[in-house]
Structure 1
Amino acid sequence: MAPRRSHKKSRAGCRRCKVRKIKCNEVHPRCGNCSKHGVLCDFEKHDDNQTSPDTPHATASASPTNSNCDSPSAATSPLPVTPSAPASTPAPLYRNPEPLPLTSTSKNNRMMELKLLHHYTTITCETLAISSPVSEKIWRETVPCLAFSGASFLADALLAVSALHLRSHAPQDQDLIRASHSYMASTFSEYSASLSKGITESNAEALFLTAALIAFQSTASRIFARDDGGDMKDRSGGYALPLSWFHSFQGVKAVVASSWQWLRNSGIVVPIIESQPALNLNLSGNPTFFSDLLIGVEEEVTSLDDDPARQMATRQAYQHAVAVLDWAHKIPHTGAPLVFLATVSRRFVELLEARRPRALAILASYFGLLKCLDSVWWLKGVARREVMGIVSLFDPDDEEWWPRLQWPLRIALIDGDGIPADVWGADWAAEKALMDQASQSGSFVSHIELLSQMFSAMQNLPNNMPDALDPFTHQYALGREKASRQQQLLLSDELQGPEVD
């Protein structure tokens, strides 16, 4: 037998060859075996450490205002540099030499996020826009893209709403309950921090959309208030008003008023706002469907408020709220009733907090209007639940207010979606014609334009100016001679929402 040829054993081979117990030819930057199989070699990692980190880092994210995932800047952004190799060497299949260290917990979290994102983009987004394909497409495609571009609070918000939507089908699912609460808590934290730093051109769109999703979440959470120990009952055990709805929707109004200089040119926000029907309020003082809710208002404001400015604010709050009711009553299937939450004044919310009978009766009629939107998951059952709760606050022997509660009561107790026109009090066949007429007479954007100008004027006034500003001062400063005195008063009152830095 021929003697075994001697050889020198090397310990300088790559790790992969050592693990496979095969001879490594020790060629740098990639040995022959690794080149043959098209995988990264341990030598590459060693060589690359001399110049750059092994794990690739993403380039700077696009500005949050870039809402197009397929934009040229996104498509052409440079990828991390791959370590150089001979031209004959096959390209590696993976950039990372080892799998990501995923624990079972983090993997479960990833799967939950994928589940929520999929549900949002396929189903939930369709429920955020009522009768508006354009707005629906924005919620489906553009909003997630904006969230991915750096607005993490917006991403958390859409995941929170998606979790709540899924929970509506599985109320006791603890994973969905935790996800909904956790993502919304994260949303509030980062959203509040961004607001405290100030609204800018770069974050205005994301803040508006997040405020809208917070409002959706606040409204839909009422469905689970009993399960979550929420605010369905007050301290005395009676019915608790859903005041959080008003606070969250008023927050949307405040963000819009503060950042309209940038939002007015947004290809995201403007179409969403334009999808709302034009806010054409009847301020003539002539009898309307809900005008009985204003009977006796003068006696109330003079007997309960001593300050003339306070009396004016109270009177305006009632008049404006009823005008919005009358407008929405004619076109309820368009989603018009939802505008009520954002457009009523801060003073009206204060009257609700004080549980003034007139404010409660107006609110009951508002919830009656929502019966037309009972098929929307986050509004399902709202009309019956809230109207019955408000009615429980009145004495059935109250001859002044009990008769004015009969309309919302009849509407709320109807089974099914069909509401007879004679019970509703409007001609359903005329709804489309009214919508067409409204679209020709203006848009919701024009209403916001006026609000924004007035908001700017109010911001520039001395701090000692009264809250109830003289309408002619506005008219002179803004050059809006065509705006009626009463409309200026109501719009001025409407601006008195939550403050935003």
Structure 2
Amino acid sequence: MRSQCDEVHPRCGNCTKHGVACDFEHPGIVDTLSPAETPRPTTSTSNCDSPSTNTLPPTPSVESTTPLPIYRNPEPLPLTNSSKSNRMMELKLLHHYTTITCQTLAISSPVSEKIWRDTVPNLAFTGAEFLADALLAVSALHLRSHSPQDQELIRASHSYMASTLSEYSARLGKGITEENAEALFLTAALIAFQSTASRIFTREDSSDLKDRSGRYSLPLSWFHSFQGIKAVVASSWHWLRNSGIVIPIIESQPALNLDLSGQNANFFGHLLTGVEEEIANLDEDPITQSLTRQGYQHAVAVLDWAHKIPHTGAPLVFLATVSRRFVELLEARRPRALAILASYFGLLKSLDSVWWLKGLARREVMGIVSLFDPDDKEWWPRLQWPVRIAMHEGDFIPPEIWGAEHTNDTALLDQGGQSGGYVSHIELVSQMFTAVQNMPPAIPDEALDALAQQSVLAQAQEFNRQMTSRNDSHASH
């Protein structure tokens, strides 16, 4: 049935009712189109009973006061040059992340790579803007590895990470919930990645590599960031344990099989020689003594395990698994903790081809070695392996230099055994947190979130320190 057009301006009643474009609303559109662009007459019935009027394709029903969608409006987008530049930068960063950067977040793990490429961006689009900012920050950092002097990429990397830290910390302050647990875990992981990867852009003579006394400064922000991941996981495990995003990422790591007995011969066993005497002399409290002993033993066990399967990404597990007590020992610059850390950086030499680890082993090992007296007969001999590895030229490290044949032992590499490793460990830690919460006096629900907040705060302070240092450096020039 044909209906008469009431010719009401700016949009006739029938066109408004049926949600189609009306010639009265933009009378000049059809006249200004080229012949090839002019809509062809259709056999369908027009809402406006005018033989010279052609209908445009239907549009969703909208209020008469609602402007037509952009694709209906011939007017140019009201974007300034600045907003256009920002828009193109975000498109560039998102494209680079989904095509290239996501592949570098997981080593030899197709399942994890697909999650970082497809699932994580989709989750970021559902309202987790802090996660989206983290993706863009990491992508900008990756692009900087190809163009280190690109000021736009430097600003983008810093700006998006600053925004991430601010919003992420605010969300933690409000508490972890079932709805945001996955996004917070992924953001914590990207913050840790950014903290680790940004170290490669620090100049050798930069104040970021030195403390107030001018000596080498340990990358403690790495450990603070990974402690933040552990806190988020432990406090929200009752939700994350069933996550189709988090569990595959956790299980994509090489199977963690540690010998914590300390009884068997191992490659880094010499780093534990004299540990009881040290604990007796420096740690008076029995609980602290136990934590110190466990911290050292666990760290060395991870080194021994990773040493056997270096090219699998296993050395990266060290940052995520060492205890909070071990981090405290590093902060106190205990010689034993420093020697263990030097050996860890020696292990990273096997991943020197990864863009965010390139050249890192040599610089960090030699930085740690500079903190020791060359005449120190106790510790200097224990530093020889990381120094030898760090100074080695070439991607392939011969077994006689590495110290042992790389193993293909299925007990070490079997991915199926991981549920008994990482996941079981997290289950245990989560149960411990739950038990503590149920002990009188009751700990507030926000207590666990505060652990993660402390790590984020430490990361934010480190970020601000680096930015201040860079600004001062630029000002001096």
- TM range, normalised to the smaller chain? 0.7 to 0.9
> CA 1:418 to 1:35, structure 2 compared with 1: closer, same or farther past 3 Å?
farther
**Matches of 2:98 and 2:351, distance apart in 1:** 22
Structure possessing the higher relative contact order (Cα contacts under 8 Å, 6 or more residues apart): 2
> What does residue 54 of structure 1 align with?
67
| 1:199-246 CA-partner distances (Å, limit 9, x unpaired) | 111111111111111011000110112399662111122210000000
Identity between Structure 1 and Structure 2 (%): 73
Question: 1:14·1:31 contact (CA, 8 Å) conserved in 2?
Answer: no
Between 401-410 and 326-335, the greater mean CA deviation after superposition: 326-335
**Matches of 1:146 and 1:496, distance apart in 2:** 21
**Matches of 2:163 and 2:175, distance apart in 1:** 19
> CA 1:258 to 1:34, structure 2 compared with 1: closer, same or farther past 3 Å?
farther
Question: 2:103·2:113 contact (CA, 8 Å) conserved in 1?
Answer: yes
> What is the aligned counterpart of 1:256 among 219, 229, 233?
233
**Matches of 1:34 and 1:190, distance apart in 2:** 56
Segments of structure 2 that go 5 or more residues without pairing to the other structure are 1-7, 11-22, 33-45, 455-477
The count of residues paired between Structure 1 and Structure 2 equals 416
Name the SS for the 1:448 alignment partner. helix
**Matches of 2:296 and 2:171, distance apart in 1:** 34
| 1:345-368 CA-partner distances (Å, limit 9, x unpaired) | 111111111111011000000111
Letter in 2 for 1:420: P
Segments of structure 1 that go 5 or more residues without pairing to the other structure are 1-9, 23-27, 57-92, 466-494
> What does residue 288 of structure 2 align with?
310
**Matches of 2:440 and 2:228, distance apart in 1:** 24
Shift of 1:306: 1.9
Question: 1:239·1:392 contact (CA, 8 Å) conserved in 2?
Answer: yes
Name the SS for the 1:427 alignment partner. coil
> What is the aligned counterpart of 1:391 among 363, 366, 369?
369
Shift of 1:394: 0.5
> What does residue 38 of structure 1 align with?
56
| 1:273-330 CA-partner distances (Å, limit 9, x unpaired) | 0001222210222132111111111111111122222222212211111111112111
> What is the aligned counterpart of 1:358 among 317, 327, 336?
336
RMSD: 3.2
Alignment of 1:55-204 (within 5 A): 94-96=71-73, 98-204=75-181
Question: 1:225·1:231 contact (CA, 8 Å) conserved in 2?
Answer: yes
> CA 1:208 to 1:20, structure 2 compared with 1: closer, same or farther past 3 Å?
closer
**Matches of 1:327 and 1:452, distance apart in 2:** 24
| 1:72-93 CA-partner distances (Å, limit 9, x unpaired) | xxxxxxxxxxxxxxxxxxxxx9
> CA 1:404 to 1:137, structure 2 compared with 1: closer, same or farther past 3 Å?
same
Shift of 1:342: 1.4
Tell me the TM-score normalised to structure 2 length: 0.80
Tell me the TM-score normalised to structure 1 length: 0.76
Shift of 1:409: 0.6
Shift of 1:379: 1.1
**Matches of 1:298 and 1:227, distance apart in 2:** 37
Letter in 2 for 1:253: K
Letter in 2 for 1:377: W
Letter in 2 for 1:48: S
**Matches of 1:40 and 1:99, distance apart in 2:** 22
Q: Does 1:439 align with 2:457?
A: no
Q: Does 1:205 align with 2:221?
A: no
> What does residue 429 of structure 2 align with?
451
Question: 2:309·2:407 contact (CA, 8 Å) conserved in 1?
Answer: no
> What does residue 219 of structure 2 align with?
242
Between 361-370 and 217-226, the greater mean CA deviation after superposition: 217-226
Question: 1:346·1:497 contact (CA, 8 Å) conserved in 2?
Answer: no
Question: 2:240·2:247 contact (CA, 8 Å) conserved in 1?
Answer: yes
Shift of 1:423: 1.9
**Matches of 1:33 and 1:305, distance apart in 2:** 95
Shift of 1:437: 8.8
